[in-house]
Amino acid sequence: MVLPSFLRKRFNRVKLGFFLHSPFPSSEIYMTIPVREEILRSLLNCDLIGFHTFDYARHFLSCCSKMLGIDYQCQRGYIGLDYCGKTINIKILHMGIHMGQLESVLNMEQTATLAKQLKEKFEGKIVMVGVDDLDLLKGISLKFSAMGRLLEMRPELIGKVVLVQIANPARSQGKDALEVEKETTLVAQQINRKYEFIGCSPSLSGAYRVNPWDVGAVADAMYVGIQMKDEEKHLRHEKHYKYISSHDVAFWARSFDLDLERACKEHHLKRYYNVGFGLNFRVAAVGTNFRMLTIERVAAAYNNTNSRLILLDYDGTMMPQSAVDKTPRSEVISILDCLCSDPKNVVFIVSGRGRDPLSKWFSPCEKLGISAEHGYFTRWTKNSPWETCSVAMDSDWKKIVQPVMDLYTETTDGSFIEKKESALVWHHQDADPDFGSCQAKELLDHLESVLANEPVVVKRGQQIVEVKPQGVSKGLVVENLVSTMRSQGKSPDFLFCIGDDRSDEDMFESIARLVGNPLTPPIAEVFACTVGHKPTKAKYYVDDTPEVIKLLQGLAAASVGSNHTHTLEDDHRETDD
C-alpha cells in the first residue's frame, strides 16, 4: 500500500490506479496502526482508488476525514477527494468472476460425471452449497454454527438437508490460515450466511441479507430459502446470473481502465512538484498558469502603480481556521494600518462575519474598509455609515430555517448556529469530522427542499452550511468597489485579492470577468490569490496564513519606503526653493 508513493516519486505524471481486493478497516481499527497517516498519503498519490463495496470505501473516506482532514465530494455520480491540487477518484465495483473459464469447466466431461455422482449421492435431499476461501474473513465456522442451529430448531429437517461446503485453499499460508482450517474441521455443524462474508453481497440484490454474527437469524434465513418455491428460486438465480454475466472480470478491468483514463485526462494541463520525504512524499499539482505568489513579484507591481484596491478575506486567510480566539494580533492591525495610511491604497476586509465583531476587532484602523456578511453590509472607513445591499429585507425565511438547524444541532454534538443579521450559519468544525460532514450534506439537502420558493440561497462552505439572501456574494463586492472607484476618477491599476474558501471563489470569478471585459478600463496588475493548493479560479497561491502575513508585511514595507522617498523628494524641493 506504500508502493504508490515510490512510483509517483519516480515519475510524477504516471497514470496510477490502485484496487484494494480486501476490506478496508473501520477508522477505530485503522487508527491503531502506527504508520496510519503515511499509508493514507501513499494511497492518495494514486489517481484512482478502487474498492469492492461502498462499505470498504466509506471506511477509507472516514479515515481520510478524521486523520487528514480531507472531505469527499459527490459530483455527477462520482466520488472524489481534493488533495494537493488534484482530485483523487474513488471507484466502487466488485471484480466479478471469469465467466469464460467457468463455462469451459462446466462443459468438461469430468464435470458432468461429477455432477451425476453428486445428484445420485444426495437424491431426494435439499442441498445447500457454500463456496468460500479458507480464511478468517469468510466466516465458515459461523456458517457451520448456523447450520447446527437450524437442525436444532427444525429437527424434521435432519436427514433431509445437506450442506456441501467447498473450501478453496487460503491465498496465503501462515498461522492464521492453519487455525482457520483447524477450527473449520472441528466445527462441523455450523454455517455462515451465504453472502455477507464475501464482498459481492451488495451486488446480489436478490439474496437474503442477515446479520452474520446472529447465528439464529442466519438459520432462519436458511429455512426461508429451503421453503422457497422453485419458481422464486429460479427468478432470483436468473437475476444474479444476469448481473454476474454482464459484470465479469473483463467488465471490471475495462471499467477501471476507463475511469483511470478519465481521472488522468487533465494531467497535461497541470504542473507538478514534489513535497515531503519518505512515506510522507506527495506530489502537488497546479495549473500551468497557477504559481506561487512571491513578495518580489507583487512588490514590483505595487511600486509601479498609483491606484490600488486590496481585498482581504479574514478567517483562514489572515487568521488560521483552527484558532480559538479569532481576535487579530497586534501585528496584523499594524500591517493593515500601514497599508491604509498609503493614499494610493483602498483596503477592504471582505468577510462572512457579522459587522459588529469586525468593527470591534479592526477599530484601530481608521481608514480600513469592511464588507461584512459577504457584502450585505459595507462601509468605506471607520467613520463612514454602513451601506446595506439593495436586496429585499424580508427575513420570514428565518422562521423556516431556524427549527431545521436547531434539529441538526441537537443531534450533532459540537455543532452550533451563528445568527447574523442577514444570514443563518450552521457550524460543524467542532463535531466528529465524519459525522459532521454527513450531517452537513443532509442539512444542505433538507434546506434546499424546504426553501425552494424562498428568495435565499443555501451554500456549503468550510465546515459550515449557510443560508443567505439571493444577490449577496463576495463577487458583487468586487464589482461594486471597482465601479465606485472608477466613478470617483480613481480607476484601479492594481488589484490584489486573497482568500481561502469557496465564498472567495466568487471574488476570483468576478475579477476574471473584469479583466476579460473589453468594454471596461483595463487593470494593469491583477493578483487573485488563494491560500493552499486546491482547484481554484485564482492564478496565484500561498501556502498558509503565515505566508499571507509575510506578503502583507512586504507590501506595507513597500508603502513605508515609497512614502519615505516622497518625503525626501519634497524636502529637497523645498531646500532648492
**Of 84-93, 270-279, 459-468, minimum mean pLDDT range:** 270-279
Largest CA distance in the chain: 123
pLDDT band per the 50, 70, 90 thresholds, residue 180: low
- Considering the chain, what percentage of its residues have pLDDT values greater than 90? 28
Phi, psi (5° rounding) for residue 168? Answer: -75, 145
**pLDDT given at position 50:** 92
- Across the chain, what does the average pLDDT equal? 82
pLDDT band per the 50, 70, 90 thresholds, residue 178: low
Q: What is the pLDDT of residues 537-576, one digit of tens each?
A: 888 989 889 999 999 999 999 887 665 544 434 444 444 4
**Of 46-60, 110-124, 214-228, 506-520, minimum mean pLDDT range:** 214-228
Kindly report, as residue ranges, where domains of CATH 3.30.70.1020 are found in the chain. 398-469
Average pLDDT for residues 516-527, to the nearest whole number? 84
170 vs 344, higher pLDDT? 344
Q: What is the pLDDT of residues 90-122, one digit of tens each?
A: 998 888 778 788 888 888 888 888 888 888 888
CA nearest neighbour of 46 among 95, 94, 90, 106: 90
CA nearest neighbour of 138 among 166, 173, 100: 166
Q: Any residues with CB less than 8 A from the CB of 404 and at least 6 apart, and which?
A: 443, 446, 447, 450
**What letter represents residue 309's amino acid?**
L
Per-position DSSP letters for 330-384, written without gaps between them = HHHHHHHHHHHHSTTEEEEEE-SS-HHHHHHHTTT-TT-EEEEGGGTEEESSTTS
Strands 540-542 and 525-531: parallel
Burial of residue 179, with CB atoms counted within 10 A of its CB: 0-12 exposed, 13-18 middle, 19 or more buried: exposed
Average pLDDT for residues 325-333, to the nearest whole number? 90
**Of 182-191, 228-237, 483-492, minimum mean pLDDT range:** 182-191
- Considering the chain, what percentage of its residues have pLDDT values greater than 70? 87
Given a cut of 70, whether residue 177 has pLDDT beyond it is no
- Say what the pTM is: 0.61
Q: Which CATH number fits domain 3-95+252-269: 3.40.50.2000, 2.40.70.10, 3.40.640.10, 3.10.20.600?
A: 3.40.50.2000
| Assigned C-alpha cell, 126 | 435439499
**pLDDT given at position 193:** 38
| Assigned C-alpha cell, 261 | 483514463
Count CB atoms within 10 A of the CB of residue 552: 24
**pLDDT given at position 507:** 92
Given a cut of 90, whether residue 402 has pLDDT beyond it is yes
Given a cut of 80, whether residue 377 has pLDDT beyond it is yes
Its sign, for the CA torsion 77, 83, 84, 89, is negative
**pLDDT given at position 186:** 57
Q: By the 8 A CB rule, do 413 and 432 touch?
A: yes
Nearest-angstrom CA–CA distance, 332 and 84: 28
**pLDDT given at position 263:** 87
Q: Can you list the alpha helix ranges (DSSP code H) found in 44-173?
A: 54-68, 99-106, 109-121, 140-153
pLDDT band per the 50, 70, 90 thresholds, residue 170: low
Please, what is the Cα angle at 280 between 90 and 58, to 5 degrees? 25
| Assigned C-alpha cell, 160 | 433431509
* Homologous superfamily assigned to 398-469: Trehalose-6-phosphate phosphatase related protein; domain 2 (3.30.70.1020)
Average pLDDT for residues 530-534, to the nearest whole number? 83
Nearest-angstrom CA–CA distance, 142 and 296: 68
Average pLDDT for residues 452-470, to the nearest whole number? 87
Given a cut of 80, whether residue 390 has pLDDT beyond it is no
Does domain 118-246 fall under CATH 2.40.37.10? My reply is: no
pLDDT band per the 50, 70, 90 thresholds, residue 188: very low
**pLDDT given at position 139:** 64
Q: What are 395-399's contacts with CB under 8 Å, separation 24+?
A: 395/422, 397/451, 397/454, 397/455, 397/456, 397/467, 398/424
| Assigned C-alpha cell, 10 | 519516480
**pLDDT given at position 368:** 94
**pLDDT given at position 485:** 92
Its sign, for the CA torsion 427, 430, 433, 436, is negative
Architecture of domain 291-391+473-564 in CATH? 3-Layer(aba) Sandwich (3.40)
Nearest-angstrom CA–CA distance, 62 and 55: 10
Kindly report, as residue ranges, where domains of CATH 3.40.50.2000 are found in the chain. 3-95+252-269, 118-246
21 vs 287, higher pLDDT? 21
| Assigned C-alpha cell, 58 | 466509506
Nearest-angstrom CA–CA distance, 325 and 576: 54
Average pLDDT for residues 250-268, to the nearest whole number? 87
Q: What is the pLDDT of residues 22-59, one digit of tens each?
A: 889 888 888 888 889 999 999 999 999 999 888 889 89
